[in-house]
Amino acid sequence: MTPTPSFATSLDALSGWRSALAQRLEDVARFLGEHELIDDSASMQVGSLRERLGNEKLVVAFVAEFSRGKSELINAIFFADTGRRILPATPGRTTMCPVELAWDADEPSSLMLLPIETRLDGLSLTELRPQRRAWKIVPLQVRDPDQLAQSLLEVTRTSFVTKDQARALGFWDDAQPEDNPPLDDAGRVEVPAWRHALINYPHPLLKQGLVVLDTPGLNAIGAEPELTLSLLPSAHATVFILGADTGVTKSDMAIWRDHLGSHAPTRFVVLNKIDALLDPLATREQVQAQIAGVRRETARTLDIPAERVFPLSARQALAARVMGDHEALRDSHLPELESALGTQLLPQRRQVLEDVVLEGAQQIETHVSRRLGDTRRQLAEQMLELRGLRGKSSSKLRLMIERVDAETAEFEQCTVRLQALRVVHSRMLKDALVGLSSDRLREEVSEMQAVMNKSLLNLGAKKAFIVLCTKLRALLSGAQHLNVEVRDMLGASFAKLNAEFGFSLALTKAPDMERYMDELSLIERNYVQYLGLTQALRLSQPKFMEQFRRMLVSKLRVVFENASGDLEIWNKSTSAQVDSQLRERRRNFRRRRESLERVQTAASELELRLGEIETQDERLQSLLGRTRHLLEALREQACAGPMPEIALISLAPGARDQEAAQPLRAQA
């Protein structure tokens, strides 16, 4: 057995905490469901919270020029327990396509390979993911490490094509001859056989939602726009790897600048292969000083603090873990990187989830207390009315029934008003949503494409794209503006309905489109950067342009769909509130009338009915108390976080980033 790596321990803690949270949420949901305390829109909210907790992923991407040791590092961190090297790691170009490691329990263990020719169809990776027929699927024997390693050799496969084919596939560029791949004797070009590989593997960390992305070197990264535009920017952390023996080379710098720009997610820099600096003629101290020197120099070149640079030896770490040699593992310095990954990444994820859960709990509580509060208020009114009947004659009761009938009739007049409100509301909502429709989005993107097609230079493409983003931002802000009008209209109508018909309608916080504008800005930044790269010249090829457009549309569609989904849910839940109060009020009138009729037939019924109402009220009170109690348990769990394990790591000897661990311990 190898000692448990600290990254694993903290990820374990995070996922344990997540499932504890999911359990608490389940308790809440079951209770609310059993006692019919939530309506459809609120239960949709609970559902999306549940999904969020269940499917939360943590994506870590390993990025570097070829042969820096990405695959070896992944082997050392994740696969040492198999007792061998699992991902192929050899001198020279090895991994030829991006490789994604994850676990989906609904699928068998397998290696899925997307043929490189799919690039010619212009379909984006996102579109191809669910199309199983597009992929070659190789079942994996996870219990047999040798067979497993043998199967994974596929990711190194290449094939030879003509220069024209290579050009069409995006691997040949006459303008950048130095970047072109080698030719064989027959003048053919060597290109990767696969465009993307997905490994579905039941590793304990992957089971907990970790997704690892191994990438090929510089030119291959540039050849797949989706990697630059989508996969890398959406990773939660990137590990950038350099060779301690080579330092920062020109092509390392190009990757750093183009793909890991300053806005990239949490970045870790690894100075790999420190074992290569060992020198039989130098003392241990001299070698240490040399490593420290390269580390400082690297930090200076990349303009980051030296603490963010981790000198280590992936090869030594893998060997040490396979042999169970603790001392050698320590000497490899891999544990420092793992510890930093654990102490810096997981608290961020934890914070995001905590916020989501706390906000969700608040919404549920508001919803339930309002619902129960309304019913209790009506019960109290009924109670008051019934108490007033004590000792009243039967003719007086008759009068009261008539009064209830009159009140009911008066109340029913609200239906005309509600009908009008519904018409106005749905028209306004439609107006607010029209700017966010997928048709509108496609129109705008096509317009941009038309402009791009006309301009051959990147400059024009970039400009057209920026114009598009400005227009889209205006659409979001237009929707925001219209929704504020909807809110004001509803606010005014609710106030009137409350005053005239005894409703207790209240507006909840309307969704803010600001969030989506931020998401749009992030996409804009990534794409603008991409359009500035030399690789973007490939856009002059129609297939690439098509792929670029599709990718962009699918990214933007997510933003627009979420934005309009948010608006719709809010508006729906607002209308649902009106409907449920209307139902409740009607039921209340019916109950009042029934009680009066019962009391009229037998005086003893009065006390009985009063008793019933009291019991009913007590029951509601207890339901509210129990809901609050369950929500409190959810909140406590959220605020407690995956504490003990993470705190342990930060205290462990060698834990590098004490600072990052501080806020965690403070919360303990």
Ligand X SMILES: Nc1nc2c(ncn2[C@@H]2O[C@H](COP(=O)(O)OP(=O)(O)OP(=O)(O)O)[C@@H](O)[C@H]2O)c(=O)[nH]1
CA distance 228 to 526: 8
Number of residues that bind Mg ion (CB under 5 A): 4
Which residue in 71, 75, 272, 375 binds Mg ion (CB under 5 A)? 71
Position of tokens 């793992």?
Answer: 338
Length, in residues, of the chain: 668
User: Does 276 interact with ligand X (rule: CB under 6 A)?
Assistant: yes
Where do runs of H (alpha helix) occur along 455-541? 458-501, 514-531
User: Does 91 interact with ligand X (rule: CB under 6 A)?
Assistant: yes
Identify residues 117-156 at the interface with ligand X (CB under 6 A). none
User: Does 249 interact with ligand X (rule: CB under 6 A)?
Assistant: no
Q: Which stretch binds ligand X (CB under 6 A): 126-134, 270-278, 367-375, 430-438?
A: 270-278
User: Does 89 interact with ligand X (rule: CB under 6 A)?
Assistant: yes
CA distance 390 to 606: 8
CA distance 476 to 512: 10
DSSP tag of 98: -
Q: Identify which of residues 242 and 464 has a Cβ nearer to ligand X in the complex.
A: 242
Closest CA to 313 of 326, 329, 289: 329
CA distance 78 to 507: 50
Q: What is the 3-state secondary structure (H, E, C) of 541-593?
A: CHHHHHHHHHHHHHHHHHHHHHHHHHHHHHHHHHHHHHHHHHHHHHHHHHHHH
Backbone phi, psi, residue 632, to 5°:
-65, -40
Q: Which stretch binds Mg ion (CB under 5 A): 3-11, 62-70, 188-196, 440-448?
A: 62-70
Site string for ligand X, 194-233 (x = CB under 6 A): ----------------------xx----------------
Residue 577 C-beta: closest distance to ligand X, Å: 56
Taking CA atoms, 650 is separated from 60, 185, 246, in Å, by 20, 56, 32
Q: SS3 of 30, please?
A: helix
Which residue in 275, 336, 365, 374 binds ligand X (CB under 6 A)? 275
Number of residues that bind ligand X (CB under 6 A): 23
User: Does 66 interact with ligand X (rule: CB under 6 A)?
Assistant: yes
Q: Which stretch binds ligand X (CB under 6 A): 86-94, 110-118, 428-436, 568-576?
A: 86-94
Site string for Mg ion, 91-130 (x = CB under 5 A): ---xx-----------------------------------
User: Does 313 interact with ligand X (rule: CB under 6 A)?
Assistant: yes
Q: Which stretch binds ligand X (CB under 6 A): 64-72, 253-261, 535-543, 634-642?
A: 64-72
User: Does 421 interact with ligand X (rule: CB under 6 A)?
Assistant: no
CA distance 80 to 68: 19
Q: Identify which of residues 241 and 517 has a Cβ nearer to Mg ion in the complex.
A: 241
User: Does 272 interact with Mg ion (rule: CB under 5 A)?
Assistant: no
Which residue in 25, 314, 340, 497 binds ligand X (CB under 6 A)? 314
Site string for ligand X, 92-121 (x = CB under 6 A): -xxx--------------------------
CA distance 242 to 262: 18
Closest CA to 642 of 4, 57, 18, 7: 18
Interface residues with ligand X (CB under 6 A) are 64, 66-72, 89-91, 93-95, 216-217, 272-273, 275-276, 313-315
